[in-house]
Amino acid sequence: MFEMTTLVIPTEQRRSDEESLITENKMTNNPDKNIKTLGIPTEEEIKQAQIDFAPRCTSAGRVNDKETQKMVQYILNFARKHSLFVLAYGTGCGAIEIPATMTSRYDAERFGIRGAATPRQADVLMITGYLSTKTLKRVIRVYEQMQDPKYVIAFGSCTINGGMYFDSYNTIKALDRYLPVDVYIAGCMPRPESVINGFIKLQELIQNGNAGGGKCYRDNLDWYRANQQKVIKNWDFPDKYNW
Amino acid sequence: MQKHILNRLKKVFKVEGDIKAPLRIKIVADKDLVSSILLYLKNQMGFIHLNHMSCVDWIEDNKFELVYIVWHPEQKQTVLVHTFIDRDNPVMENIDTIWDQANTYEREMREMYGIEFPGLVGAKEFILEDWQEMPPMRRDFDTKKYAKETYATRPGRENARDVRKEIMKRSGEELPEFAKKYSRD
Ligand code: SF4
């Protein structure tokens, strides 16, 4: 599998080949360009040079080919799967299960799950219970600040279908309308075993390359925004998706 | 002891009241009298602690009932001061000059019931954010309808239907014996 030697790029060689090809073409197509001016290049020449000498991605022999990407992706996923940094953030009743999951009895750190202090360092956002609209606003801001790849795990029946707050005037009912959720953990409240089970499910998804709602969120941003704006009345987010 | 407290209040303020329980005295006072009663209770009779303030919505009588609960730490006595205010024009005297902590209760009542307390310090928004409907704890606010219209439900789970059989079929699992007696059908 690790036949890395085939991937070494004969850079110098290929560059010069390409350049010569390009200059040949130009000579035939555009006779004006043949006249060599010595000294300071004109603006046009600079522009042309920028186009000509820009690094090119061709498939053969480059790092960008499909096989290599697959392998790189495999290694990346493997690493991601075993270092899930969870944002230390809790809503609803469920945050009380997190200390139990993280500490010595259940010891989630043996799976590479551990806390992260800020959203920029975190991979996983755990929604541990019901979300009032006030909290939802903060959660969306937090989610948007996280770096790709990012995953969302939602806890408890409150995030799935409203749970026992189904008729509350202030809590949302289906979380995946507002944020892309990777794994739902059922229960009210799920015990640490099921929390760890959920994390293992997420690891499987990551390994297969199926996890990570970040792209989904970016692609369907309009749909998500429309849903979010329906419940968040005073919308004061930045207009553009800005990270 | 309780009778003594009740009689004293009755004599001074001409209010009605009775003894509810061994540690609880209830008096019903006029809206304008409440702040003087509370001040009297605090300064003259030793009820120095404001336990709680709450509001009840009597929509049938078109009234809000406010309850002030004060506590005497040495005699271990509680006095509940009840008063009624008009529901259409709910204005009540601000008592946060007597007890500072009343401010928090009053701000909550302002938000949840729409009761105005003239001179109340503090931001208009207390717990709710961006609330644009009528105050949500009023009984004519239809919570269920609002929740249904505003928040999307998961298709198929709009009501409390028992879906365990369908899940059993889908996943090919058996319902455990102990779970059978919790059926909703
Ligand atoms: S699912 Fe249950 S435990 Fe979790 S937030 Fe809702 S009510 Fe609380």
Task: Kindly state the tokens that stand for A161.
Answer: 């279908």
Chain B residues contacting A via beta carbons under 8 Å: 128-133, 136, 141, 143-144, 146-147, 150-154, 157
Q: Looking at residue A194, what is its pLDDT? A: 92
Q: What is the rounded average pLDDT of the residues B52-70?
A: 94
| B138 is a domain residue | no
Domain residue ranges of chain A, discontinuous segments joined by +: 2-64, 78-231
Q: Among A12-16, A55-59, B164-168, which stretch is predicted with the lowest mean pLDDT?
A: A12-16
Ligand 1 pocket check: which of A189, A194, A195 to mutate, most ligand atoms within 8 Å of Cβ?
A189
Q: Looking at residue B175, what is its pLDDT? A: 81
Instruction: Give chain B's mean pLDDT.
Output: 89
How many domains are contained in chain B? Answer: 1
| B60 is a domain residue | yes
Specify the fold of A78-231. Answer: Rossmann fold (3.40.50)
A181 pLDDT higher than 70: yes
Confidence of residue A241 (pLDDT cuts 50, 70, 90): low
Nearest CA in chain B to A161: B154
Q: Show the domain range for B92.
A: 2-129
| B20 is a domain residue | yes
- The C-alpha angle with vertex B46 and arms to B40 and B48, in degrees rounded to 5, equals 90
B144 pLDDT higher than 70: yes
**ipTM surpassing 0.90:** no
Confidence of residue A242 (pLDDT cuts 50, 70, 90): low
Pairing of strands B63-72, B77-86: antiparallel
- The C-alpha angle with vertex A228 and arms to A225 and A232, in degrees rounded to 5, equals 130
| B141 is a domain residue | no
| B171 is a domain residue | no
Domain with residue B75: its CATH number is: 3.30.460.80
Q: Looking at residue B99, what is its pLDDT? A: 92
Q: What is A37-87 written as a DSSP string?
A: PPSSPPHHHHHHHHHHTS----STTSTTSHHHHHHHHHHHHHHHHT-EEEE
Distance separating alpha carbons of residues B67 and B71, to the nearest angstrom = 13
A135 pLDDT higher than 60: yes
Confidence of residue A32 (pLDDT cuts 50, 70, 90): low
User: What separation in Å is there between the alpha carbon of A208 and the centre of ligand 1?
Assistant: 30
Q: What is the rounded average pLDDT of the residues B63-90?
A: 93
Sheet of B24-28: strand order equals B16-21, B24-28, B77-86, B63-72, B49-58
Q: Looking at residue A62, what is its pLDDT? A: 54
User: Which residue type sits at B118?
Assistant: P
Torsion angle defined by CA atoms of residues A219, A145, B154 and B150, in that order, rounded to the nearest 10 degrees: -100
Contact indicator for A233, A134 with CB cutoff of 8 Å: no
- Give the global pTM: 0.76
Q: What is the rounded average pLDDT of the residues B117-144?
A: 88
Percent of chain B with pLDDT over 90: 51
